[in-house]
Structure 1
Amino acid sequence: MAIFKPTRQTRLYEDVASQLREAILSGRFLPGDRLPIERGLMAEFRVSRAVVRQATMNLEHEGLVDVQVGAGGGTFVRESGVDAVTHAFANLFRHRGVSLHDYLAAKRVLEPAMTAAVFAGSGPDHHRRLADNLQEFREAMKSGAEDRDLLRLSLGFHELLAEATSNPVLEAVVVAVVRMGERVPAFTTTTRADWPRILAEHEELLGALRRGAKRRFSELILSHLDTVGDIYDDIPRAPAS
């Protein structure tokens, strides 16, 4: 039995992309699954190779699939729905521009608001992963790692906090915003003197989480974002909500 329907007389690649997207999001194709080969899609949709390629390119741009070439290549469903959200946020960044002020303003709304979910959803495994991140951060600083690698570890701590909510919607939104930090130009100017301060505040956050100090954790999140704003004091900080 055919999975897909012949296309309507619209933009053919949009119809193909729409049906493929629905098949992925409905779970017909799971993360890691390979979509039918090009020839199979051409026959099932009754369209040209160019239409199929444009459709899969659209899905790749949305972060839903990876297109791999060469032996063993094909179109594969991506592992995480977070990637699709991150991609959409990245498009927003590229097309509209996002300043550090915009970035921190969004984080000042999202991260304190997720405090209750972090405390409700996290457990020893989440705490261990956060501690592992901090240890990796310490070792990277001692070994003289490049600032961009330290930035990824710093942002990775905030991603782990989002995962600790055990809420896939919160995780997707917060992680997408956090990952935009790698695209904010001001962050590339972080100096080596700034990283110990950032690490120390991450350690305080984990300590508050382990103690169950919810109010203190929320205060520390806001204080930490103030620290980041202070580091880049040429850009105004967003007011607290």
Structure 2
Amino acid sequence: MTGPRRDSPSTADAAVFRPVRAGNAFEETVERLLQAIRLGVAVPGDRLPAERELATRLGVSRVTLREAIRSLHEAGYVESRRGRYGGTFVNAVLPSPQPLSDRGEVDLGDVLTLRHVLESGAAEAAAGRSPDQDDRDNLRARLDECLGSDGAEYRRRDSRLHLAIAEATGSASLTAAVADVRMRVNELLDAIPLLNPNLAHSNEQHERIIRAILDGDEDAARKGMAEHLEGTASLLRGFLA
């Protein structure tokens, strides 16, 4: 279907454009829009629902929706047109998926599940251990690196911060496991574009996680890390699933 969309959403439309969960509104909005494109709910040439309607259906602010659409425009998935029949349209030619590895297909679900278990647990354990001064200084330094990083350096510094959290548990085995899963995650992240709104949101979450660890709040550290990881998972599922 090309041109203006039908007024009445289909069952598939309703399933994809359902309200996002709180916590990672930008990332989940990107995921939903990419799902619509990848599942054929919105095919090349289709116009997406009007901004007001789409924001209402997704349960997000129009500012968040615009950030998501702008990010997908920069990534080559949609374009904006002006005029009477203007709006946001799915590009006629979509970006080709980048190869993830020469070692065969990557099991996205497996990687994300393992990461969730390891890193949420690491944040909780680090908070429960009451990090010593060296660990506290290391966590603050790694956080400052992320906060002051540009896009080119962000993923490397983000990795250092997550490893510092694992190190603060005092468990060499857990730190090694987090390092291993982070290598697998980075391979996935390298196949998707950097989205500046996501980087800003990630840093806000990083600050809350580190604060919880330094305060010894195990529950807040675990929940904060779980929410943070789910934001990344939303983008990976959207671009790669």
TM-score, normalised relative to structure 1: 0.52
**Are 1:106 and 2:110 counterparts?**
no
Q: Secondary structure at the match of 2:205?
A: helix
Instruction: Check whether the contact 2:124–2:219 (CA below 8 A) recurs between aligned residues.
Output: no
Match of 2:129 in 1: 120
- Aligned pair partner of 2:169 in 147, 154, 165: 165
Q: Residue 116 and residue 192 in structure 1: after superposition, are their counterparts in 2 closer, same or farther (change >3 A)?
A: closer
Unmatched segments (≥5 aa) in structure 2: 1-100
- Larger Cα-atom Rg: 1
Q: Structure 1 residues 217, 112: CA separation in 2 closer, same or farther (over 3 Å shift)?
A: same
Deviation of 1:178 after TM superposition, in Å, equals 1.3
Cα offsets for 1:121-147 (capped at 9, x unmatched): 632221211211121222223xxx42x
Given that residues 112 and 221 in structure 1 are in contact (C-alpha distance below 8 angstroms), is that contact kept between their aligned partners in structure 2? yes
Letter in 1 for 2:149: A
Identity over aligned pairs, percent: 20
Write the distance in 1 (CA, Å) between the matches of 2:135 and 2:171: 13
Query: What are the ranges of 5 or more consecutive residues in structure 1 without an aligned counterpart?
Result: 1-92
Q: How does 1:138-217 map onto structure 2 within 5 Å? A: 138-141=147-150, 145-146=151-152, 149-185=153-189, 188-217=192-221
In 2, the alpha carbon distance for the partners of 1:186 and 1:179 equals: 11
**Cα shift at 1:96:** 4.3
| Residues 124-133 or 201-210, more deviating | 124-133
Aligned residues: 140
How many Å apart are 1:173 and its aligned residue?
Answer: 1.0
Which among 117, 142, 157 is matched to residue 133 of structure 1? 142
In structure 2, the CA distance between the partners of 1:185 and 1:200, relative to structure 1 (3 Å rule), is closer
**How big is the shift at 1:99?**
4.3
Distance 1:229 1:213, change over 3 A: same
Hey, what's the Cα distance between the residues in 1 that align with 2:156 and 2:118?
Answer: 19
CA distance in 2, matches of 1:181, 1:132: 23
* Per-residue Cα deviation, 1:144-186 (whole angstroms, up to 9, x for no partner): x42xx21111122111111111111111111111122221156
Amino acid at match of 2:225: I
1:229 to partner: Cα distance: 2.2
Q: Deviations over 1:186-230 (max 9, x none)?
A: 654121221111111011000001111111111111111111123
Tell me, yes or no, if the aligned pair for 1:229 and 1:235 is still in contact at 8 Å: no
The offset of 1:97, in angstroms, is: 3.3
Runs of 4 or more consecutive aligned structure 1 residues displaced over 4 Å after TM superposition? none
Residue 133 of structure 2 aligns to which amino acid in structure 1?
P
Q: Secondary structure at the match of 1:95?
A: coil
Measure, in 2, the Cα distance between the counterparts of 1:130 and 1:172: 17
Cα displacement (A) at 1:94: 5.0
Name the structure, 1 or 2, with higher relative contact order (CA <8 Å, separation 6+): 2
- The residue that corresponds to 2:235 in the other structure is 231
- Secondary structure of the 2:169 match is coil
Q: What is the rounded CA distance, in whole Å, between the counterparts of 2:236 and 2:188 in structure 1?
A: 12
Q: Structure 1: how far apart are the matches of 2:143 and 2:230?
A: 20
Cα distance in 1, alignment partners of residues 114 and 154 from structure 2: 22
Aligned counterparts of 1:221 and 1:161: Cα–Cα separation in 2:
10
Q: Is the 8 A contact 2:188 2:236 kept in 1?
A: no
- C-alpha contact (below 8 Å) 1:100/1:186 kept by paired residues: no
| TM-score relative to the length of structure 2 | 0.52
